[in-house]
Structure 1
């Protein structure tokens, strides 16, 4: 009955001169509202969305205007759109599982409407809008059956009040920059990476801008406020990306749907715990996923830049994986020139003899990258991939790391998906470096294990800057980059590589929980782990890389963060501080634990200095509180295991 009233009201309004035209859609829990409105002062047929959030006290307009429309090579779909109809509201209910991620079982619910428009030439465009309990999504659709066109521009643009605080990363093709916060008169004008985090101007809620379900029919986009400081417009890739190869404007064939434009909305815990990016992405067609095996990986590149070139170093890192109960070791670049006692075949034979599974690195190859590192071009064409994957399958290689994509143009999106589809035919896992930020592909292609697209521990080798910026950067990532998908930061390094850490040992240990990645590359040299106290060493042997539940305990981007993750009946917590000036004490309530169960709890926190631990074993239940002290730039890790009664 409510839907009929809304539609009839809309029909009345649209034929009433001088009235603002609007359609309102609410989330199932009624907290999130999106209104479709017309700019009708001169009745030019421009339309926009307004997003509001309801608190206990009032309703707040958090994004007052989202400009809409597309410019196609044959005609415009933005300035003179005439409303045709709005569909009946449809309920969306989904239940699905993934073999990895922040949750194993996914359930989501939304309300959806489809609004149909036509332009002056009678060509149709639909706007599909969904309101979820943790955000809103919308996408464009051209429903006609025939035609191929270029999209010259997408007019989608988010108008954000200047008082809203924001955390944004300056655009770079590898998505490996630092996030910076700003608001009011300190907002910069430039191009920005996804995802972008905002705190509403009245502080009542948070929202994260991103996109999902990007496929072969489009390019990746980014955000730009160059033309209007308070408006973040979706922008196509730069033509000079990938050394000028590929076209920056996407080519589409009808019928066509755009990627989802996604705004995750709610409290900070709602944002961190959300799986909305994967929820709206295309389900997999894989018939089986049993061959997809997440796990921890030993990795020699961070401590030994040319480590894989040396057979003895490869063996040392294989032994590390054995001693730490990790499943994999990665053969990074230069495995094709391995020497000092053995070659690739010798190394693979040794790795398999120890019960460890090898992963291998590849240059993405082609004219799109200037990087000459070998092996190159073996992933570049379908013929090359089939030939290489056939060899890898015979050699018992479980997965490939493919590097240096340097573009989000449509041709590169196709390349990513070609690799995933061909690898799946051979039951080979994949992860990308020098790459795009996750767009929900892990639901469609669950052999996609992780992505880099982050300034990770590798940057300790690139200059002194990361020593000072890492503590704050690490507290921002759980609220930004890692929310939208797996993140191959290559964490948990205790020794120093080319430039030193300023983070404590407790801080580093906590990253094994805070940073989610189904293939978690633990990057330190063997002695960095062998010399740990028993409690920390045991923690790194046992901590999972996939989770059944994720819960934000507390935190604020750039200051501190504590996250709890559950696997089966056990919980693991990680917490860090960015403070350079003062020690802090955390009081952690354990009310998320199951009632009536006692837990054996191991707390591993900062010790008397930043390279020492303080450990204690406790017995707790859901009524307990744990107090933990963090040094400057400090941290802690906690495991909680049910005690058999």
Structure 2
């Protein structure tokens, strides 16, 4: 199976006089005419963005500062072309098997061997720089201003590192404020969203990030602006003694060093008029480079029995639980019982302090474990650290591929400067060569890499369940859970690691390391398996407690997370609740999440096909407001004319399967 992208040129024309407002202003509109982008070329380059005639952003100045000059300073336009395109994009391990996009592109060539491409879609605007220089270049900085027309409310996930703001796990809740009141002392990582009123939201993302640092934004409250910021190029490193993790100790005064003939990352402003459009926006995937690995029919995904979150915490067994053969065979047995395809061997299968993933600890016979798993239909995934894998890259890939390992869960990159991004590409290419998959943790936000390298199945970059081991209730997971799908999921799938069977109300929740719990109800946990784009999904709790909750495990394992034919967000409001439906064949799966406010969801089933469906509903129990693990399972026959009324407890949810009879 080879990923294809069919690009059909609908029209090609040199910019006509009707598109030129004067000698320095150029306008391009979306195919449906709802969005307009006005490019202004004077002493510098800027652009405005309008939606249905209303200005959302104005005088967004852009420039690219090189070591020998600034592109965009005193610019001279040589040629402007507009093209209309329609594109069909085949997808893999995505929320749909394919999608179509149409856009109008304006390509502006400037004197000085550089160009800008602007694309205006029906759901957003994107632009990127292109340089056409024979010699290598050094990029000192990139200016990308986002100047809001009004004092909009912005959703900003700030860095969590004070020492080096560009070095962290890219995991935080959203700070919500007017732009004039936003914290200007910390950078925020993408995606970020602005609420422009009347349901309209603009989300800033990037795509096709390669050989370049990722973009952060810094608030400028007085100017009502967000301004791009970038990690500078690393010059010196040190190694952490705990995991042999490499980190930056000194940075240069430039942000990138690269070839002079290149394309730069796409800067995206996704525009939505209703919150339900946000989680299914496809611009990041559409703008990413197509598949580079050729045939990827060998790439498999599914669900995973995970050890780390529950701290190998099984009991009622006749062996000491831990990183040993008996424990992992127990996890493999549990996975096989429930037709779970994978078990992760997380941190500890090699000595993390050694930085040597080629040497397995003596307590484990990895060949025996692999054979045991395969005898039961369960494959193994190995955890490692980014630079540890990178240092032993081909040797490790060759060794573990030949042994029968399925892939790697790679952790603790914790940066997105140019060398960090380059490391991700090296690892993606080499693992693909040896038919190994990747689940990337401690990683920056997705930028379309899962399209370019389909062996990359999932990404973290999310404030997921691991945070519940040490975070207090002030870290409002319930609000995050109904905000993140609208913002973070726009750029790609998430490895949130759900599945907690210990569940707590707001008053009862507390962080416990060895026996962790979730905020919110049991059904909130079940619903995440439907709401989240997650082609490799963990079952984070331990086999002992799962066996005590078999109806929930059976439902989790029955919900497909691959081969999705259609995804719809049926209802939702960012920060309050979400209801998502996914179709696989003729069957549908619907999940709903709420914040700490109880609510009633009225679910219209008119999206169903003809005929009768067997509906299995897991909903919050009548006592879930106090006993968060309380749930009710009901079964009934429904059809497309049916409707359901579902009560959600505070921090609650529901999960529904609709199987055609």
Give me the TM-score of the superposition, normalised by structure 1: 0.88
Is this contact kept in 1: 2:19–2:28, CA < 8 A? no
Aligned counterpart for 1:303 among listed residues 307, 310, 328: 310
Is 1:153 aligned to residue 141 of structure 2? yes
Is this contact kept in 1: 2:45–2:72, CA < 8 A? yes
Is this contact kept in 2: 1:117–1:124, CA < 8 A? yes
Is this contact kept in 2: 1:312–1:340, CA < 8 A? no
C-alpha separation in 2, matches of 1:76 and 1:277? 28
The residue correspondences of 1:445-456 to structure 2 (distance < 5 A) are 445-456=453-464
Is 1:176 aligned to residue 171 of structure 2? yes
Is 1:574 aligned to residue 596 of structure 2? no
Is 1:544 aligned to residue 560 of structure 2? yes
C-alpha separation in 1, matches of 2:155 and 2:338? 37
C-alpha separation in 2, matches of 1:212 and 1:228? 29
Is this contact kept in 2: 1:36–1:50, CA < 8 A? yes
C-alpha separation in 2, matches of 1:440 and 1:184? 28
Is this contact kept in 2: 1:207–1:271, CA < 8 A? no
CA offset digits 1:582-617 (Å, max 9, x no partner): 4211101122223x2322111110012221211212
C-alpha separation in 2, matches of 1:5 and 1:438? 35
| Alignment partner, residue 425 of structure 2 | 417
> Following TM superposition, by how much is the alpha carbon of 1:71 offset from its aligned partner in structure 2, in angstroms?
0.9
Is 1:315 aligned to residue 329 of structure 2? yes
| Alignment partner, residue 37 of structure 1 | 40
The residue correspondences of 1:286-297 to structure 2 (distance < 5 A) are 286-297=293-304
CA offset digits 1:231-256 (Å, max 9, x no partner): 11111115689323665510122222
CA offset digits 1:108-158 (Å, max 9, x no partner): 11111101223xxxx1321101111221111011234x0111111111111
Is 1:193 aligned to residue 199 of structure 2? no
Give me the TM-score of the superposition, normalised by structure 2: 0.86
Is this contact kept in 2: 1:308–1:333, CA < 8 A? no
Is this contact kept in 1: 2:606–2:641, CA < 8 A? yes
Q: 1:461 to 1:52 in 2, by over 3 A?
A: same
The residue correspondences of 1:73-222 to structure 2 (distance < 5 A) are 73-87=67-81, 89-118=82-111, 123-144=112-133, 146-172=134-160, 173-183=168-178, 185-189=180-184, 190-200=186-196, 202-216=197-211, 218-222=212-216
C-alpha separation in 2, matches of 1:480 and 1:358? 32
Is the partner of 1:102 in helix, strand or coil? coil
| Alignment partner, residue 369 of structure 2 | 347
C-alpha separation in 2, matches of 1:12 and 1:107? 31
Is 1:63 aligned to residue 51 of structure 2? no
| Higher deviation after alignment, 173-182 or 491-500 | 491-500
| Alignment partner, residue 380 of structure 1 | 390
Q: 1:3 to 1:389 in 2, by over 3 A?
A: closer
| Alignment partner, residue 464 of structure 1 | 472
Is this contact kept in 2: 1:506–1:606, CA < 8 A? yes
> Following TM superposition, by how much is the alpha carbon of 1:312 offset from its aligned partner in structure 2, in angstroms?
2.2
Count of aligned pairs between the two proteins: 601
C-alpha separation in 1, matches of 2:13 and 2:629? 65
Q: 1:193 to 1:308 in 2, by over 3 A?
A: farther
CA offset digits 1:213-242 (Å, max 9, x no partner): 0112x2212111258552111111156893
Is this contact kept in 1: 2:293–2:429, CA < 8 A? no
| Alignment partner, residue 17 of structure 1 | none
Is this contact kept in 2: 1:134–1:271, CA < 8 A? no
> Following TM superposition, by how much is the alpha carbon of 1:465 offset from its aligned partner in structure 2, in angstroms?
4.3
Is the partner of 1:486 in helix, strand or coil? coil
Q: 1:450 to 1:308 in 2, by over 3 A?
A: farther
> Following TM superposition, by how much is the alpha carbon of 1:83 offset from its aligned partner in structure 2, in angstroms?
2.4
CA offset digits 1:444-481 (Å, max 9, x no partner): 00000111111111112224347x51111111110111
| Alignment partner, residue 533 of structure 2 | 516
C-alpha separation in 2, matches of 1:302 and 1:529? 14
Is this contact kept in 1: 2:275–2:574, CA < 8 A? no
Is 1:619 aligned to residue 613 of structure 2? no
> Following TM superposition, by how much is the alpha carbon of 1:194 offset from its aligned partner in structure 2, in angstroms?
0.3
> Following TM superposition, by how much is the alpha carbon of 1:564 offset from its aligned partner in structure 2, in angstroms?
1.0
CA offset digits 1:10-35 (Å, max 9, x no partner): 66721xxxxxx421111112222111
Q: Name the one with the larger strand percent.
A: 2
Is this contact kept in 1: 2:123–2:270, CA < 8 A? yes
Is this contact kept in 2: 1:324–1:540, CA < 8 A? no
Is the partner of 1:508 in helix, strand or coil? helix
C-alpha separation in 2, matches of 1:244 and 1:599? 59
C-alpha separation in 2, matches of 1:444 and 1:450? 13
C-alpha separation in 1, matches of 2:292 and 2:411? 26
| Alignment partner, residue 256 of structure 1 | 262
C-alpha separation in 1, matches of 2:337 and 2:21? 72
Is this contact kept in 1: 2:411–2:441, CA < 8 A? yes
C-alpha separation in 2, matches of 1:184 and 1:332? 41
Q: 1:359 to 1:188 in 2, by over 3 A?
A: same
Is the partner of 1:287 in helix, strand or coil? coil
Is the partner of 2:519 in helix, strand or coil? coil
- Stretches of structure 2 that go unaligned for 5 or more consecutive residues are 1-9, 161-167, 238-246, 314-320, 352-359, 504-511
C-alpha separation in 2, matches of 1:555 and 1:253? 45
C-alpha separation in 2, matches of 1:339 and 1:156? 49
| Alignment partner, residue 506 of structure 2 | none
| Alignment partner, residue 374 of structure 1 | none
Is this contact kept in 2: 1:491–1:508, CA < 8 A? yes
> Following TM superposition, by how much is the alpha carbon of 1:573 offset from its aligned partner in structure 2, in angstroms?
1.0
Is 1:402 aligned to residue 410 of structure 2? yes
Aligned counterpart for 2:249 among listed residues 244, 269, 285: 244
